[in-house]
């Protein structure tokens, strides 16, 4: 089976790497257009670069100006590679990438499975002209694909709203690697992990901490990640007198250590100006696996990752007063926080272990690759 991603593989997409590593019965061939930098691409990644003189695909320049000359010659080269590698199926990640992958699947006469992760169904593609083009091309992907995977029920519903045939849409959670190491329950402070962009709601988090009652206002806040808003957020923390430490990007092992050294995880994601919403939030699972209760806004796929009143507290989007109250509730009641943390860890172990989730994905591959699957394409 070929895993297709146009750009292999940004550091933020460890979920794709982890899913591949969890495969048991299927073997993955990693295929795409370019290796990005920095990258977490494996050494066996195969590039299918765009030939300069090839015939352009329909309107591709509107979505991928860098790759607009990818055409018949490039697809033929990719088709030959898949044939020589005995590839039985293509699994494309993200709707934008599936546009090219669907044409390749058609030419190679193999089934196509597509995973949609969030922005590819919740964010406008740019100008009205680009959006019209993207939605038109998506209809071709919907027609060509055997199975359309939403990484949450929220994303599956968005797919159907965009015109995907309901009978082709399934929800398949990716899950995370689950550690057997028990939590020490010695952590303290609030932790955030994610990109420092407006939609992640870090500004709301800092404001909420500044509104806590005096015994908790000095709580340590650890901000893990980087992004264009870092200097602005650092200035806000200083202005509000928040005990915040911005530690930047960190390897996964250090992120785990920082989570385990905290007592609450807070990532109040909001609707972006482009309309994008949190599709699910793998980081919520990682926090729960570390034994942390979660505080966040209730939107998008977050309620699927966080069980409100069981593994954390969800409040209305943009309600900073309620966000502050939820943080104060858990800071003042460590027994309840610990109970939520244990429930969250149990929930991840039982429902979101990547080994179990990937076994379900392999069953999807089996159905797509079965001889009768051609009846659906």
Is there a single domain that holds both residue 131 and residue 264?
no
Q: In which domain, by residue range, is 115 found?
A: 2-175+354-376
Whether residue 47 has pLDDT greater than 80: no
Mean pLDDT of the 7-26 span: 93
Is there a single domain that holds both residue 34 and residue 170?
yes
CA pair distance 72, 54, nearest whole angstrom? 6
| Residue 180 placed within a domain | no
Confidence of residue 367 (pLDDT cuts 50, 70, 90): very high
Is there a single domain that holds both residue 170 and residue 209?
no
- In this prediction, residue 128 carries a pLDDT of 76
- In this prediction, residue 116 carries a pLDDT of 98
| Residue 181 placed within a domain | no
CA 123 to chain CA centroid, Å, is: 14
Higher per-residue pLDDT: 47 or 284: 284
| Residue 211 placed within a domain | yes
Whether residue 155 has pLDDT greater than 70: yes
Mean pLDDT of the 170-184 span: 86
- In this prediction, residue 51 carries a pLDDT of 47
Q: What angle do CA 299, 302, 306 make, to 5 degrees?
A: 130
- In this prediction, residue 182 carries a pLDDT of 66
Is there a single domain that holds both residue 347 and residue 358?
no
CA pair distance 164, 141, nearest whole angstrom? 9
| Mean pLDDT computed over every residue of the chain | 89
Whether residue 56 has pLDDT greater than 60: no
Kindly give, in sequence order, each residue whose CB lies less than 8 Å from that of residue 173, ignoring residues fewer than 6 positions away: 151, 152, 280, 304, 351, 352, 357
Is there a single domain that holds both residue 333 and residue 372?
no
CA distances to 99, 218, 293, 329 from 325, rounded to whole Å, are 45, 15, 14, 6
pLDDT digits 0-9 by tens, 79-122: 888 889 899 999 999 999 999 899 899 989 999 999 999 989 98
Q: Which residues of 33-48 are buried (b: 16+ CB within 10 A; e: fewer)?
A: bbebeeeebeeebeeb
Mean pLDDT of the 348-363 span: 98
| Residue 98 placed within a domain | yes
Is there a single domain that holds both residue 221 and residue 257?
yes
Is there a single domain that holds both residue 169 and residue 74?
yes
Is there a single domain that holds both residue 66 and residue 135?
yes
Contact 166, 160 (CB under 8 A): yes
Is there a single domain that holds both residue 166 and residue 202?
no
**Count of structural domains, the chain:** 2
Q: Which residues of 291-314 are buried (b: 16+ CB within 10 A; e: fewer)?
A: bbbbbbbebbbbbbbbbeeebbbb
- First-residue to last-residue Cα distance in the chain: 18
Task: Indicate if the alpha-carbon torsion angle 332, 334, 335, 339 is positive or negative.
Answer: positive
Q: What is the CATH number of the domain that holds 81?
A: 3.40.50.2000
Whether residue 67 has pLDDT greater than 50: no
Contact 114, 144 (CB under 8 A): no
| Residue 207 placed within a domain | yes
Other residues' Cβ atoms within 10 Å of the Cβ of residue 86: 8
Alpha helices by DSSP H, listed for 42-163, are 72-84, 95-108, 119-122, 128-144, 153-161
Q: Which residue has the tokens 């490039």?
A: 74
- Burial level of 273, CB count in 10 A (0-12/13-18/19+)? exposed
- In this prediction, residue 190 carries a pLDDT of 98
Contact 244, 206 (CB under 8 A): yes
| Residue 185 placed within a domain | no
| Residue 157 placed within a domain | yes
Cis peptide before 74 (omega within 30 of 0): no
By percentage, how much of the chain surpasses pLDDT 90?
71
Is there a single domain that holds both residue 19 and residue 159?
yes
3-state secondary structure of 206: helix
Kindly give, in sequence order, each residue whose CB lies less than 8 Å from that of residue 354, ignoring residues fewer than 6 positions away: 18, 19, 22, 174, 175, 176, 177, 178
Indicate the range of 112-126, 220-234, 316-330, 359-373 predicted with least confidence: 112-126
Whether residue 250 has pLDDT greater than 50: yes
| Residue 146 placed within a domain | yes
E strand or H helix at 221: strand 221-224
Indicate the range of 131-140, 227-236, 322-331, 334-343 predicted with least confidence: 131-140
Confidence of residue 131 (pLDDT cuts 50, 70, 90): confident
The closest of 352, 280, 307, 319 to 122, measured between CA atoms, is 280
Contact 277, 201 (CB under 8 A): no
**Percent of residues in the chain assigned helix, strand, coil, to nearest 5:** 45, 15, 40
Is there a single domain that holds both residue 201 and residue 314?
yes
Is there a single domain that holds both residue 15 and residue 149?
yes
Indicate the range of 72-76, 282-286, 331-335, 370-374 predicted with least confidence: 72-76
């Amino acid at each position: 089976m070929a895993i297709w991603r146009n750009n292999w593989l940004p550091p933020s997409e460890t979920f794709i790497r982890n899913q591949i590593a969890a495969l048991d019965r299927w073997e993955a061939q990693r295929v795409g257009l370019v290796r990005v930098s920095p990258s977490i691409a494996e050494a066996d990644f195969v590039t299918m670069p765009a030939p300069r003189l090839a015939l352009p695909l329909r309107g591709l320049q509107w979505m991928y100006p860098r790759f607009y000359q990818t055409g018949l010659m490039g697809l033929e080269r990719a088709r030959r590679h898949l044939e020589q590698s005995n590839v039985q199926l293509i699994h494309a990640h993200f709707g934008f990438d599936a546009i090219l992958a669907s044409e390749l699947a058609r030419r190679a006469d193999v089934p196509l499975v597509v995973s949609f992760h969030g922005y590819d169904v919740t964010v406008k593609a740019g100008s009205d002209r680009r959006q019209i083009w993207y939605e038109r091309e998506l209809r071709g992907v919907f027609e060509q694909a055997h199975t359309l995977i939403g990484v949450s029920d929220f994303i599956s519903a968005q797919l159907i709203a965009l015109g995907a045939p309901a009978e082709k849409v399934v929800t398949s959670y990716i899950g995370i690697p689950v550690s057997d190491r028990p939590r020490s329950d010695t952590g303290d402070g609030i932790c955030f992990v994610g990109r420092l962009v407006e939609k992640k709601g870090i500004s709301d988090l800092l404001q909420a901490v500044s509104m806590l009652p005096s015994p908790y206002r000095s709580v340590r806040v650890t901000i893990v990640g980087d992004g264009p808003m870092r200097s602005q957020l650092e200035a806000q923390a200083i202005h509000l007198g928040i005990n915040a430490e911005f530690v930047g990007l960190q390897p996964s092992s250090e992120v785990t250590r920082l989570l385990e050294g905290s007592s609450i995880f807070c990532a109040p994601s909001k609707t972006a100006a482009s309309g994008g919403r949190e599709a699910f939030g793998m980081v919520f699972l990682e926090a729960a696996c570390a034994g942390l209760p979660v505080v966040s806004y209730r939107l998008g796929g977050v309620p699927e990752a966080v069980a409100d009143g069981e593994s954390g507290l969800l409040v209305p989007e943009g309600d900073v007063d309620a966000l502050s109250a939820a943080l104060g509730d858990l800071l003042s009641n460590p027994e309840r926080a610990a109970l939520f943390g244990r429930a969250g860890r149990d929930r991840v172990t039982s429902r979101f272990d990547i080994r179990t989730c990937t076994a379900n994905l392999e069953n999807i591959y089996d159905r797509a690759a079965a001889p009768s699957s051609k009846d659906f394409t």
